[in-house]
Structure 1
């Protein structure tokens, strides 16, 4: 996900200040609901959750919020925050994978409070949202006893999150042949470019999903291949050549996935693909 600021670098890792967050994502600081919500809508002030997570050692290192064309709604709209432990004394190297917590929320009715586990691969500075059998996204609706549900859900994810770190070691032991790599690429190709029925119209070919962006990614193990596919899916920049309505040659280039919901949805689906491939190889 491309929601990192300079504070998220691993060589200068530090938490974002509230001044920095307010500039980039003011909706984090909403303590009330947008005027369009009914009295049954219970606002969940994200900043209060962040301050509580800080007591558990997690601090924000990257933030992003959705744009809104409705006047006055920008201070309540959907936002996504990445958190990690920066004062735990650990020294990270290129190639390491680090566990993070992702928090999504909105106080305008566009999103429930949601907490997910995330992984960050230092080698290429790409990231992924994980969804495994033991770690599911915790969602809390803006109604009822919100406070207790938020606290309970937060601790559940915090207690389970670091189990995701098993995947890099496990997936790295599975070597993929060319057909298996192409199968992973083709599935990701449909996820990224397919319509609701799975039909793909883009001239960008599935094998483009396997294009490496750095020499360290030449390995054919599942973990490396998966990260290559994930980065190409999310970051865009893939090229193809088709024809326009008049039959003239037309070059196209895929765009980066910037929407919060689309980003998370694609990452979750890609993670499931990786898990299924790991199960088959095992």
Structure 2
């Protein structure tokens, strides 16, 4: 997860991992750019500045509670107060319900910026409590809504949020179906191989990392050692996004060196990988007759 370093200790338990609704003060610590008071100086007079804070307030009035927030760390530090940010919401009744390991929650994922790098983007998401994974469902007409910075943005985002919330609930139903699909070792490796290319492949799909596909299948907890599609998908997704996979490779002088995969911290890469992984899960479910 791409939280600021100063926010990691604050957010690693309750706020950052979506354990309960976030206050504006907590959101401000995790994603200060959502509370920018004006657009970035690079925007022209034609740019309609609609602060994310107004959208958050509007969503709250409609029963959507923010449960996770983060923002990118731009190369240009001058943009840090306006940069792209991501906020995950759960609808009332789910944001405060009792927690059990393994539970999944439908979510609405809101992405925006105030420097022109993003329109308002509302997409479907799923949160799994067991590994604190925030997934983004693959794109589609009912699963994603983009709202430009013009017109009644708050109303359009709220309407779009209700649309994609239905898609998120359907994704939870799909996850339930995936638990009944058993994958053999070859099928699990097919998912892991595809994830390895998605994470490390170049534009031609060539992969040079010494990290192998079977490492994407390694469980990080005993409960994730099952062979069903949902559990396998979660192992692959977590190992892809959270990083920490290690292998021995060679440096430019052909000397041995340990390679460790990095956590995916960029919002764009996180969303892109999650969507692609979810699509892989859907394709496998279809092949197994569980679409």
TM-score, scaled relative to structure 1: 0.91
RMSD value over aligned CA atoms? 2.2
Higher mean C-alpha displacement, 23-32 vs 249-258: 23-32
**Residues 44-88 of structure 1, C-alpha deviations (whole Å, 9 max, x = no match):** 311111111112222112211112343542221111112224655
Q: What is aligned with 1:65? A: 71
Native 8 Å contact 2:37 2:51 kept in 1: yes
Q: What is aligned with 2:157? A: 150
1:186 maps onto 2:193 in alignment: yes
Q: What is aligned with 2:249? A: 242
Q: What is aligned with 1:52? A: 58
Distance verdict in 2 for CA 1:269–1:245, change over 3 Å: same
1:38 maps onto 2:44 in alignment: yes
Residue in structure 2 matching 1:171, options 178, 199, 224: 178
Q: What is aligned with 2:7? A: none
Q: Secondary structure at the match of 1:155?
A: helix
Instruction: Give me the whole-angstrom Cα distance separating, in 2, the residues matched to 1:75 and 1:172.
Output: 42
Residue in structure 2 matching 1:118, options 115, 119, 125: 125
Native 8 Å contact 2:2 2:267 kept in 1: no
Give how far 1:139 is off: 1.1
Native 8 Å contact 2:15 2:26 kept in 1: no
Distance verdict in 2 for CA 1:175–1:134, change over 3 Å: farther
Distance verdict in 2 for CA 1:159–1:206, change over 3 Å: closer
* 5+ long unaligned stretches in structure 2: 4-10
Higher mean C-alpha displacement, 236-245 vs 253-262: 236-245
Give how far 1:133 is off: 5.2
Distance verdict in 2 for CA 1:13–1:242, change over 3 Å: closer
TM-score, scaled relative to structure 2: 0.89
Q: What is aligned with 1:210? A: 217
1:196 maps onto 2:209 in alignment: no
Higher mean C-alpha displacement, 23-32 vs 190-199: 23-32
Distance verdict in 2 for CA 1:24–1:124, change over 3 Å: closer
Instruction: Give me the whole-angstrom Cα distance separating, in 1, the residues matched to 2:154 and 2:144.
Output: 17
Native 8 Å contact 2:192 2:236 kept in 1: yes
Q: Secondary structure at the match of 1:181?
A: helix
Give how far 1:134 is off: 6.4
Give how far 1:95 is off: 1.2
Distance verdict in 2 for CA 1:186–1:5, change over 3 Å: same
Native 8 Å contact 1:13 1:86 kept in 2: no
Q: Secondary structure at the match of 1:44?
A: coil
Residue in structure 2 matching 1:26, options 26, 29, 32: 32
Instruction: Give me the whole-angstrom Cα distance separating, in 2, the residues matched to 1:117 and 1:21.
Output: 20
Give how far 1:113 is off: 0.7
Q: What is aligned with 1:101? A: 108
Counting only pairs closer than 5 Å after superposition, residues 248-267 of structure 1 correspond to structure 2 as 248-267=255-274
Instruction: Give me the whole-angstrom Cα distance separating, in 2, the residues matched to 1:231 and 1:151.
Output: 30
Native 8 Å contact 1:5 1:62 kept in 2: no
Q: What is aligned with 2:6? A: none
